[in-house]
Structure 1
């Protein structure tokens, strides 16, 4: 039976997709997971009624969450994906020949199982790659274990390079969910203890129209923890809005990369076949519209 699949991004807003058909539902110990088929975006899944990933537009979100940060890095070797049980972020990071290890720390094994079965175009078999390590459990506890291991090193003893992460992708549910504790200054401080000297993290912030207060709070927390914070945005149909993300680092500034340099890096790193991101689009991702600058002005660099 077909139904209208509706989402409420804010108390006074609603959007959705008519003629949707439910393919699967699981009430796991952590959340309600539903897989839907829609005429507009193909198959998608939701967590507790909130949209997560669709086959029809996941490349927009996942390419923006990975490539601007990864291309700013000289040669990323190790990446940590917090959440990411659909495999979309890992699939993009596997494009880099320099990548030796990707840890996907996903809370719910049912998310992995259902998306593996129903959304093969999203993960592209990423979990079958030997460079990908899937860790089921609380991502905050995984980071805490890594921090404890580093703290146990003898004085002067350095962790192996693969024990530090060059890239971190927050592919989590929003801050108004059980993942709230991972968006805090305290967690960012813990995370920095397992970052390599040249490292960057990317995370999604929300819609500047539906979640302005949340976006500003997250940017403020990031700016407390990192020297460089660069917001970027792209329209994601599944989320019904312009969707803001950010890249944070103490050393890397993705917004400073010029188009010729980016084009050269894309070729050098063999990044062919991307469906949304390219060198020409890069600067536009970091250029906020007037309406967004009005809402978030003190966090955004003014336009020239």
Structure 2
């Protein structure tokens, strides 16, 4: 039986997919998880009615969330994925041959179970790789314990969690960024998704203000993601690394050196464009951004 799958990024906006079929629904202790089949983007899953990822376009989001920061780092060995229960970020990180350990700290084991079963193209078997460690539980608790134990430092951190008005709210704070810095190596970088400048401008500006209070180098990225119905903004944050400073030649050389050649969206040719916000998107944010001190 088919139905219309509709999303409401704001009270005044609606978009979606007609003739969608619901394949699975689970109410976990944290959220409602649904898996859908659509004609446009294949299989996708939602959390509490929000679109998360689809087999048809997941590579856009996951490649941009991983490779700009990973290539800016000279030799990333350890990565932490906050959330990321669908395995897509881990799959992209595994493309870097120097990676020795990836910790995926996912709150909800039902997300992992359902996406492993219904969206195998997204994770690509990442959780079966010996370098990937899946930790089920609150990512904030994992980071706090790792910081106290001084057991691990990470070169890359991928913020692959739900938006701030969700169970992940406590992760989008300067206090948590301070905790993160305790488990980051001196040349580490964070990748974080922010939202749509057309739907969430005020929220994005607040997130950027907090990131700039916590990190010395914060760079915006943006690209269109069909599942999210809009241009989507992300950012990298670090005290030392600046992915925006990489030239096309730099990206070409580093992709070649690491033998990464099967990407579908991110490339040397598109790298600079990710960091070049359009005037209209910048204008949406401008009214909310605090003036530089």
Q: TM-score, normalised by structure 1?
A: 0.94
Aligned partner of 1:92 in structure 2 is 92
For 1:34 and 1:278, how far apart are their aligned partners in 2?
Answer: 32
User: In the TM superposition, what whole-angstrom CA distance separates every residue of 1:92-132 from its partner, at most 9, and x where no partner exists?
Assistant: 00001100000000001100000000000000000000000
Partner of 1:13 in structure 2?
Answer: 13
Task: Give the secondary structure class of the aligned counterpart of 1:214.
Answer: helix
C-alpha deviation, 1:296, in angstroms: 2.3
1:24 alignment partner in structure 2 = 24
Aligned equivalent of 1:188: 177
Q: Which residue of the partner structure matches residue 166 of structure 1?
A: 155
Size of the alignment, in residue pairs? 289
Per-residue CA deviations over 1:57-109 (Å, capped at 9, x if unaligned) read: 00000000000000000000000000000000000000011000000000011
1:1-304 equivalent positions in 2, closer than 5 A: 1-150=1-150, 163-297=152-286
- Distance in 1 of aligned mates of 2:63 and 2:284: 26
Q: Return 5+ residue gaps in structure 1 as ranges.
A: 151-158
CA distance in 2, matches of 1:193, 1:139: 14
Per the alignment, in what secondary structure is the counterpart of residue 178 of structure 1?
A: coil
Deviation at 1:261, TM superposition (A): 1.1
SS of the aligned residue for 1:213 comes to helix
Cα deviation per residue 1:229-287 (whole Å; 9 max; x = unaligned)? 00000100000000000000000000011111110101001111100000010000000
Unpaired runs of at least 5, structure 2: none
Q: CA deviation at 1:198?
A: 0.4
* Maintained 8 Å contact 2:206/2:289: no
Q: Distance in 1 between matches of 2:155 and 2:203?
A: 27
Cα distance in 1 between the residues matched to 2:167 and 2:131: 28
- In 2: Cα distance, 1:115 partner to 1:291 partner: 36
Q: Distance in 2 between matches of 1:7 and 1:296?
A: 23
CA distance in 2, matches of 1:295, 1:19: 33
Contact residue 45 and residue 53 of structure 2 kept, 8 A:
yes
Provide the alpha-carbon RMSD of the alignment.
1.1
CA shift, 1:299, in A, is: 6.0
- TM-score normalised to the size of structure 2? 0.97
